[in-house]
Amino acid sequence: MKTILRIEETHPLTWRLREDKKTIYIKEYCQKNGYAALKKALKNISPLDIIKEIQASGLKGRGGAGFSTGLKWSLISQSKFSENCRYLICNADEMEPGTYKDRLLIEKIPHQLIEGIILSAYALNVSRGYIFLRGEYIQAEYILKKSIQEAIDFGYIGPNILGSGFNFELIIHTGAGRYICGEETALLNSLEGRRANPRSKPPFPGVFGLWGKPTCINNVETLSNISSIILHGADWYKCLSNSVDTGTKLMGFSGKVNNPGVWELPFGTTAREILEDYACGMKPGLSLKAWQPGGAGTDFLTEMHLDVPMDFNHIKEAGSRLGTALAMAVDHQTNMVSLVYNLEKFFARESCGLCTPCRDGLPWIVKILKSLKEKKGQQNDIKHLEQLCVHLSPGKTFCAHAPGAIEPLQSAIKYFRHEFEAGINTKKIDLNKKIIGIQSNYFS
């Protein structure tokens, strides 16, 4: 006999959402089994056992890199520092163009995130945590401040939580509006009041993080999974997926589709299913030309890749990255040179300027793309763009900003080279040849 699972057991991140889209505050959250996992953990589960459960669940970071959460936690837990000398940071600096999943969780179910943070802090023996929030998320800041105060009033944050002897305080820090703050070490510098430049690694934040102390940094969606795993167990969580990557993932499609949005789906769901069944296909008169699997900093894929399962390994094998798993659809009327030009302008502007390849290479890319967009390109422009993609590739720059920035460019050239070639000013070249020919005849 097949077991029928309830919605809270199949959609752990979103089952509490209201139909009227209003925020779920603490009373309603508690009515929907909120803070049950925290009570269970503080009463019956040791911090080490929580870390082991998260490791067993196979939960990976949802910020884009897909690193094992349990492994990251275990590295922190091995530190010999006392609880007053380590920190937990929730990375809520969601600034990837085309990405809005963390905003949904923060603004609609804030206590799910807060409970996940408290549980994580308990597992890591941390007494102080920070939510590093994107500065432009004004409404999210208001909701989080109100929700944190509610958690304090109910005894879930503060000294001796629920009589367990565990103390924890949670602080919101709004960023200064720089995309680079999403890089975890640049985030640390910004939190310390420094310029948001990435740090050299090693040492990694787990050893030398905020103010030189061991620090764990997790994404909003990652932390929002913790309470459900503690409540239902690692085996349950692994069974939610149709892939080797465990659990569910917030996925979506934006662009000129009929129903843009974000949905909680099992890993392994194909991009075609998301596009056609959930986003309801392209708008009338438009067809799909290309798509980015997970934000502006991922390689373009084409229609032939739509049946690729949405998980870390399959998307990588297809030639891109899962990233945030919020895809952007490009319609057949969109010129790829113009689109990539807009993306590269963003990345060039958001470079911290610390390393030469990124600081000088991205503006050079923008300049060349502008010429191609205006049909004023020169004969070797595409070759120069390809060379720049090599010089800004992984391992050639201080952090991952530039390697991410060139992904849409290199893939656009790969699949739509003819559109770049169309931007070369052939008339100018022919005119030069004609002038040279005239000069040759004159002097002959």
413 versus 7: which is more confidently predicted?
Answer: 413
pLDDT interval class at 64 (50, 70, 90) = confident
- Does the pLDDT at position 425 exceed 80? yes
Q: Strand pairing of 87-92 and 215-219? A: parallel
Q: What is the mean pLDDT of residues 394-403?
A: 92
- Does the pLDDT at position 2 exceed 50? no
DSSP symbols for 131-163: EEE-TT-HHHHHHHHHHHHHHHHTTSSBSSGGG
Q: What is the reported pLDDT for 441?
A: 46
Mark whether 52 and 159 lie in a shared domain. Answer: yes
Mark whether 271 and 198 lie in a shared domain. Answer: no
Boundary-marking domain end, from 331, 357, 381: 331
- Does the pLDDT at position 45 exceed 70? yes
Mark whether 20 and 109 lie in a shared domain. Answer: yes
Q: What is the reported pLDDT for 304?
A: 96
Q: What is the reported pLDDT for 420?
A: 97
Whether residue 354 is contained in a domain is answered as: yes
DSSP symbols for 179-230: GGGGSHHHHHHHHTTS--PPPPSSSPTTTS-GGGS-EEEEEHHHHHTHHHHH
pLDDT interval class at 177 (50, 70, 90) = confident
Boundary-marking domain end, from 220, 239, 258: 239
- Residue 122 CA to its chain's centroid (Å): 25
94 by Cβ neighbours in 10 Å (0-12 / 13-18 / 19+) ranks as: buried
Whether residue 421 is contained in a domain is answered as: yes
Whether residue 435 is contained in a domain is answered as: no
Q: Quote the CA–CA distance of 319 and 274 in Å, as a whole number.
A: 19
Q: What is the reported pLDDT for 66?
A: 85
Q: What is the mean pLDDT of residues 141-163?
A: 97
pLDDT interval class at 60 (50, 70, 90) = very high
Q: What is the mean pLDDT of residues 57-76?
A: 90
Mark whether 51 and 80 lie in a shared domain. Answer: yes
* Tens-place pLDDT, residues 95-146: 888 899 999 999 999 999 999 999 999 999 999 999 999 989 999 999 999 9
Mark whether 352 and 289 lie in a shared domain. Answer: no
> For the chain, how many structural domains are there in total?
3
pLDDT interval class at 81 (50, 70, 90) = low
Residues in contact with 283: Cβ distance below 8 Å, sequence separation at least 6, in sequence order: 256, 257, 258, 331
Q: Which structural domain range is residue 283 located in?
A: 248-331
Q: What is the reported pLDDT for 7?
A: 73
Under 8 Å between Cβ of 217 and 184: yes
What is each CA distance from 153 to 32, 107, 158, 219, 343, in whole angstroms? 19, 20, 9, 26, 45
Give the CATH number for residue 175: 3.40.50.11540
Mark whether 14 and 54 lie in a shared domain. Answer: yes
Whether residue 341 is contained in a domain is answered as: yes
Q: Strand pairing of 248-255 and 261-266? A: antiparallel
Under 8 Å between Cβ of 192 and 210: yes
pLDDT interval class at 77 (50, 70, 90) = low
Mark whether 91 and 230 lie in a shared domain. Answer: yes
Whether residue 434 is contained in a domain is answered as: no
Boundary-marking domain end, from 331, 364, 396: 331
Whether residue 442 is contained in a domain is answered as: no
- Does the pLDDT at position 159 exceed 70? yes
* Tens-place pLDDT, residues 243-272: 999 999 999 999 999 999 999 999 999 999
Q: What is the reported pLDDT for 1?
A: 39
Give the CATH number for residue 395: 1.20.1440.230
Mark whether 66 and 202 lie in a shared domain. Answer: yes
Mark whether 225 and 115 lie in a shared domain. Answer: yes
Least confident of 116-125, 214-223, 428-437: 428-437
Q: What is the reported pLDDT for 442?
A: 39
With a pLDDT cut of 70, the percent of the chain lying above it is 93
Mark whether 231 and 300 lie in a shared domain. Answer: no
Q: Is 309 helix (H, G, I), strand (E, B) or coil?
A: strand
Whether residue 440 is contained in a domain is answered as: no
Q: What is the reported pLDDT for 79?
A: 62
Q: What is the mean pLDDT of residues 224-238?
A: 96
Q: What is the reported pLDDT for 435?
A: 45
pLDDT interval class at 78 (50, 70, 90) = low
Length of the chain: 444
pLDDT interval class at 82 (50, 70, 90) = low
- Does the pLDDT at position 236 exceed 90? yes
Q: What is the reported pLDDT for 87?
A: 96
Neighbours of 252 (CB within 10 A): 27
- Kindly state the tokens that stand for 300: 């373009």
Element housing 289 (H / E): strand 288-292
Mark whether 203 and 70 lie in a shared domain. Answer: yes
